Structure 1
Amino acid sequence: MFLNLPQEVVIEVLKWLDCSSLLACRSVCCVLRGVVDEEPSLQLELELRKSGLSYAADDGLPIDIVGRLRQLRTHWKGLAWTGRYEHTVKGHCNAYELVDGLFVKTDSEGRLLVLELPTTSSPFYRVLVDEEVGFQPGDFTLDPTQDLIAFLKVEPGANLFAAPETTASLRLLSISRLQDHPEATKTSFYFNVYTDVVLGSSLHGAITQIAGNLVGVFVCSASGARLMIWNWKNGKLVGDSSHSHLTPGAHSFTFVSPDLFYVTSVDDSGIIALYSVDSSGATTGFTHVASLVLPALQANISLHSFSCHTEQLLAKKSVRTSSTLPRKQLHSFTLTFVDESDFSQEAFLMLATASLFLDYHSLYMAQGAQAPVIASWDDWGPFHTRFLSANTSYHWLRYVHGQRVVLPFEDHQLEILDFNVQSESELAAPTVLPRDRVFEDMVVSRLPYFRATKVLQEYYHGLMIDNNRLIGLSVSINPGPGVPILT
């Protein structure tokens, strides 16, 4: 009999179980319930799942980590922070990111700042990098767990008025040394872009992302959209939409995992088109997995923009931040609709978790991977999304992390939507968008969340969020360089 084994053996066996199996064992009898409830390592496993985390960046004892995770959830629910830290960042901001507890920015002259943000246990800002990169960068993306930063830039010397296309490149450097990344077979990838997207050294509206061994660049111009994905370690091209066509009206792009991504489309009422890739590069091209169709629109309404955003995927465990469970990662979509009769606009925020896209990939594979799954709004939307009216647009990135999204800051009102719901009493009622001037029929969405609000005395131009911090940014121009203040 299993329960006749020594308790330390029973505990070692239970450690191999996932969270759902562990909970099932706990409900078998009072003996197993007692073992699970009294063993700190098993309690930590359950607490991580309650917090929507795969692991905690905490080197304490399991019982202490459990206490800190519970306290953190309580503090987020009440928006009760334990410390307030301020830092002034001088100089213009050309592009910025908040990833893995680091605030990273470049200026127009090619200087890179990497700033480690304070935590409760280490309440200090620490400058990790503050130096010239050796060229004028445009947009960038990074994965600190791989010591990798990828700069997108327009190659110098191009005559933007003499030809419809020019050359751009993606440059791969190590964050710590600002030298060619030692694990990259090729440290620069070159490609052509239409000149109508070129702004100085940057590409207007370009999206650059890293997912494990993959790095992708999405460029949307008046002449059409182009997506290129490479395996940055072996240097192989994984896919190029010049050869593997994307859905018409492609507008934005995001990785879900290292072998799955989606492209939003403004065609018809709007589509989220899901694609898989061979991340090794052994097979080149994008495989269309599914198309998720948005609610039908009134005859005079068109979808003008359809942007998407989620937290940066990290390839390895971080020493600075805890990691969200892949299925729990929240994805946000900002949609702007235009009334063609008077050119008035209405904006909406739609939220979904990565489980939606991962499940459609599984469904595609279960059906034999023969043809993409076409899903109407009624098939996927009502129970897997929240579709909310949005009065203002986002002007800052990194407003969504894990299972939380911080809404634009208005009238000193801080508002966070938390999709890590622990109790039915916390649930917000279904959201109902009436059949009106935008949608052909009533739109109902029910993805569970609760709302936390707080009035602040301070005013911030923008807010960002990660698992442990809320960061307010204030910008001052007097005249001279902008001065963001991180709090």
Structure 2
Amino acid sequence: MAATSLRGLPPELQFKIMVLLDAASMLSVGLSCRTLHELFRLPSVQYLYDLHLSVMQENGTDTSLDQLHSRLRCLRKGWESLDWTPAQDVVNIPGSENVGCFVSGMFIETNEERTGLTVHSLPSATQGGHSHYTASVDFRFTSFDIDPGQDVIVFVGESVLPNGTRRGNAHIRTLSAHMSHPDATVESFPFDISPRRDYYDIKVVDDVLVVITSGPGIYRLLLWNWQKGFLIYDSTDLGLPPKTYSFKMLGRESFFLTTTAQFGKIHIYKFSPTAPSIPRMVAMLELPISNMRLSNFFILSPKLPTNPTPGTMFAPRPDAWVHVFSVRYFPEEPKSKKPSYMLFVQSRTLLQYVHRAGDIAQGEDVPWGQWGEHETRFIAEPQEDYGQVYPYGHRVLRKPIGSSSIDVLDFSEVNPNLASPAGMRQRFGRDTPTLLPPNNVFPQQVITRLPFHVTSRPVERDPHPYYMMDEERVVESYEDNQESNGTLLQVYYF
């Protein structure tokens, strides 16, 4: 309205106003604004801006810029409203004892004997149909992990030595051809297994191979550079903190773990993957002061791709990944329900301590009051068994027990709504904090403000399914009790 009124004035009066307002400076600003406007209208700049808003990174495909931009906006709009398309074919996984792993459009199942596996490529909006291939090994494996971006699969087999010692062996293979990997200097990495061991896991992150073994009072971490063939670190030589509970890699040169000592802490470590070294603890992030002892402090961590997966256009940006912690306390009465909470923390919060660590010998101890309020969401769970929680990238899929809908929590603060049907999407900004009042768990009110959106969608399936997701799909896994007595996968893509 003001601009229209100004244009309606006589030219002489317009000239006097411009002189009083410093016309030369205003003309310069106007030309700059016009230049910026023209710059932001460039397709390449609009694409990069939308990529930033989507908290994604491009995987380096040969797809044209127009196709990339169109696909990116389609994904954003689809996730905003959970407006998906069901794939026509349901994937049938025979057998009920199989172990599965889902990574960026690939579902890997083992056979019941644990001597082979089948890799299923699930359909998407850009890749129709379902394909699969099988591979086998000449030993029984107990654990495995994959990195499709590096064409890597790692199997762990066990053997018993003549002296009765149990030994594990991590074998490196190509995922596509099941042959010795060309980037691996050695084919396997042996490690002893404690007789008291009741659990171990294996992870591959870029050129780092990780083995975690645990048992009563035991938590051991082994790091190798699988490409160069040497041991980086064995926590047997220099132990991990007391009461270590859970572990996760943050990147190829950093990791974090949780401990239940005191009120609970997140320990962040940095190490060199290119030479044998002892990881340095760069920070300890404390949980809020509590009246109860911690029972569980577990990191929920489905597999995230650290390298571009073939056939995919985009991947979640690593600094925006959200990590979900299950936090439970011992109740006052032995038979009472354990007070349960979910803690949400982004990678950028943890990585800031890694990036600024420098050459410090000992990390900083960070009280909850210095980081928790603005860097997390701490949410109470009404039930001890909180149902399904599946984090992937900057999103978390949840299906509470007894609920007839799924929720997708989106922690990309810069992501505005492209599509927001009424009642389906809610925003929780820094101005709408989560408040945990003083109670028998916390002596003081706990306030957290990490922004997020949540979108809900009704779902129906009987028997109750399990839900997974990646960059462009939600996958519904449920039992087939009528024909194969196996598992069925219904894919919904955006």
Task: Count residues with an aligned counterpart.
Answer: 446
1:124 to 126, 129, 151: 129
Deviation at 1:478, TM superposition (A): 6.5
Q: 1:27 to 1:262 in 2, by over 3 A?
A: farther
d(CA) in 2 for partners of 1:151, 1:477: 30
What residue is the counterpart of 2:8 in the other structure? none
- Partner letter of residue 98 of structure 1? F
Tell me whether 1:233 sits opposite 2:227 in the alignment: yes
TM, length-normalised to structure 1: 0.85
What residue is the counterpart of 1:63 in the other structure? 66
Equivalent residues of 1:95, 1:138 under 8 A apart:
no
- Secondary structure at the counterpart of residue 463 of structure 1: strand
Deviation at 1:480, TM superposition (A): 7.6
d(CA) in 1 for partners of 2:388, 2:457: 20
What residue is the counterpart of 2:173 in the other structure? 173
Deviation at 1:44, TM superposition (A): 1.3
Equivalent residues of 2:172, 2:187 under 8 A apart:
yes
What residue is the counterpart of 1:215 in the other structure? 209
d(CA) in 1 for partners of 2:45, 2:255: 34
Matches within 5 A, 1:100-115: 100-109=104-113, 110-115=115-120
d(CA) in 2 for partners of 1:176, 1:395: 35
- Secondary structure at the counterpart of residue 437 of structure 1: coil
Q: Which structure is richer in relative contact order (CA contacts within 8 A, separation 6 or more)?
A: 2
Q: 1:220 to 1:480 in 2, by over 3 A?
A: farther
Equivalent residues of 2:248, 2:255 under 8 A apart:
yes
Equivalent residues of 1:148, 1:174 under 8 A apart:
yes
Deviation at 1:41, TM superposition (A): 1.4
More displaced, 309-318 or 438-447?
309-318
Structure 1 spans left out of the alignment, 5+ residues: 1-25, 199-203
d(CA) in 2 for partners of 1:235, 1:174: 16
Deviation at 1:308, TM superposition (A): 3.5
Equivalent residues of 1:392, 1:408 under 8 A apart:
no
d(CA) in 2 for partners of 1:458, 1:481: 17
Tell me whether 1:301 sits opposite 2:304 in the alignment: no
Q: 1:119 to 1:28 in 2, by over 3 A?
A: farther
What residue is the counterpart of 1:18 in the other structure? none
Q: 1:153 to 1:349 in 2, by over 3 A?
A: farther
Q: 1:265 to 1:301 in 2, by over 3 A?
A: closer
Q: 1:356 to 1:154 in 2, by over 3 A?
A: same
Equivalent residues of 1:144, 1:175 under 8 A apart:
yes
Q: Aligned-residue CA RMSD in angstroms? A: 2.6
Q: 1:478 to 1:225 in 2, by over 3 A?
A: farther
Q: 1:210 to 1:372 in 2, by over 3 A?
A: same
Equivalent residues of 1:266, 1:304 under 8 A apart:
yes
Deviation at 1:416, TM superposition (A): 0.9
Tell me whether 1:436 sits opposite 2:439 in the alignment: yes
Question: What whole-Å deviation, never above 9, does each CA across 1:181-206 have from its counterpart, x for those lacking one?
Answer: 222112211111223335xxxxx3x2
d(CA) in 2 for partners of 1:135, 1:250: 32
d(CA) in 2 for partners of 1:291, 1:468: 35
Equivalent residues of 1:414, 1:455 under 8 A apart:
yes
Tell me whether 1:253 sits opposite 2:237 in the alignment: no
More displaced, 300-309 or 465-474?
300-309
Tell me whether 1:402 sits opposite 2:393 in the alignment: yes
Equivalent residues of 2:82, 2:456 under 8 A apart:
yes
- Secondary structure at the counterpart of residue 361 of structure 2: coil
d(CA) in 2 for partners of 1:61, 1:321: 11
Matches within 5 A, 1:144-163: 144-155=148-159, 157=160
Question: What whole-Å deviation, never above 9, does each CA across 1:212-232 have from its counterpart, x for those lacking one?
Answer: 110111112103100001000
TM, length-normalised to structure 2: 0.84
d(CA) in 1 for partners of 2:55, 2:148: 21
- Partner letter of residue 458 of structure 1? R
Matches within 5 A, 1:54-93: 54-55=57-58, 59-85=62-88, 86-93=90-97
Q: 1:340 to 1:219 in 2, by over 3 A?
A: farther
Equivalent residues of 1:328, 1:355 under 8 A apart:
yes
Superposed structure 1 runs of 4+ greater than 4 Å apart: 56-59, 392-397, 477-481
Q: 1:44 to 1:27 in 2, by over 3 A?
A: farther
Tell me whether 1:348 sits opposite 2:336 in the alignment: no
More displaced, 229-238 or 33-42?
33-42
Matches within 5 A, 1:266-281: 266-280=260-274
Q: 1:461 to 1:382 in 2, by over 3 A?
A: same
d(CA) in 1 for partners of 2:117, 2:302: 23
- Secondary structure at the counterpart of residue 364 of structure 1: coil
Deviation at 1:135, TM superposition (A): 1.9
Tell me whether 1:45 sits opposite 2:48 in the alignment: yes
Question: What whole-Å deviation, never above 9, does each CA across 1:160-193 have from its counterpart, x for those lacking one?
Answer: xx96x62112111111122222221122111112
Q: 1:94 to 1:270 in 2, by over 3 A?
A: farther
More displaced, 304-313 or 473-482?
473-482
What residue is the counterpart of 2:448 in the other structure? 445
Q: 1:143 to 1:392 in 2, by over 3 A?
A: farther
When Rg is computed on C-alpha atoms for both structures, the one with the higher figure is 2
Equivalent residues of 2:280, 2:362 under 8 A apart:
no
